[in-house]
Structure 1
Amino acid sequence: MQDLWLIGIGTGSPVHVTGEGMQALRDAATILVPQKGAGKDDLAELRRRIIAASGTTARIVPFDYPVRDPGLPYLERVDAWHDQIAERWHAAMGKGGSAGPVALLVWGDPSLYDSTLRIAARLPVPPRIRVVPGITAIQALTAAHAIPLNTVNGPVQITTGRRLRDHGWPMGAETVAVMLDGECSFRRLDPAGVTIWWGAFLGMPQQVLYDGPLADAAQPIEAIRTAARARHGWIMDTYLLRKA
């Protein structure tokens, strides 16, 4: 049975990879590096920098990442996409050429709003999974803004931009951490009494932060996000919302 190690790498900064993660890279026999196409070469390059910083002698196997079919309904589209990713993983793992653990670097943490574990379960022969946790985007965001995740005894809801857009403010939540929002869904909320702390490229040299009352900050954040994505060709951002 193949060993597959899923190594959380934080938000792309080598200093956000834990000591355990670096050791896992050194101990791996093969490391898979996804290539996400034109305009996203930085993503593969960031992975390669982390790999180089670990000092590993593992064999590096790149593979092309599939794209989602925009013509399918959302859940069907994601399901088909995960099948395709699993097929690419399986093919790339076969190119490793040596026995030993295969490692895959995962943004943030493989257990938090990430489908890596679900994709691994779709491999033709289920591997032995080892998860090495990384710094999550939420940790990086709250640290960058020097704020706590919650208030004293206050509830926190972690959700996606899609759910915020479709269902509004989660019932009973005082603080909402929002992941995977490509549409600035905070613009759809009633901003009264809401503060936002937003960040992109967390922990990287190009990190950008913005915070303030949602009524005042929503438009500047959207403009900053649009400009940053155009400049870099991609963006990874997250934000925290809190009601007074």
Structure 2
Amino acid sequence: MKNSTISYKRHRFPQQVIAHAVWLYFRFPLSLRLVEEMLLERGIVVSYETIRRWGWKFGPAYVKQLRRRRPSQRDVWHLDEVVVSIAGRKHWLWRAVDQDGYVLDELVHSRRDTKAARRLLIRLLKKQGMPPKRIITDKLRSYGAAKRDVMPAVEHRSHKGLNNRAENSHLPLRKRERTMQGFRSAGSLQRFISIFSALRNLFVTPHHKRSALATHIHRVLAIAYWKAVTSAAA
């Protein structure tokens, strides 16, 4: 692991404690107060507000290092959108996942229209570096209009029954939403999911490697990579 721009200078706690707290909060459906209690059981006295600050400060830096890994090479994108209530107003979380259920990108937008779908596709092309063989969506017409504009040669299958991969990808965030009792702003949701999904991508076993041994090996390697990422200080 090359040196990163992550710096733990002027922090009272060592990087292992900070990284562990961030991992607990974003990897599992735990509240900040529960993470505080789990650390206390280990003899680490730290407030939940400090853990919150660690998450917002170090989470994006960790994600930046995780994203240095190669983009997904899978050639089918599943796209879906789900409504999220923020301060009493409807927002839409647009998400793309690949065949293994790995999150490729997410976008929080106030509208459910072609403009938002187009923006998601443009972001995906930039991140992945090449178009997919096929995209699969529900029957929302905005996907078809955006696809014709951004990637007209790509095959598009529009069928609700085919899109279970993307629809199921919303479930982990729904659990977190209930634990956190909602999100305060669209910006906070966008920041949270960027960290949350990056960690989930690292630790969740691919669908084609779901044996007990493969799952164990995958998690051991993921933990080792996480430790390498979070210990690389400038």
> Which TM-score bucket, shorter chain as reference?
under 0.3
Length-normalised TM-score, structure 2: 0.26
- Greater relative contact order (CA < 8 Å, ≥ 6 in sequence): 2
Task: Return the structure number with greater strand share.
Answer: 1
* More helix per residue: 2
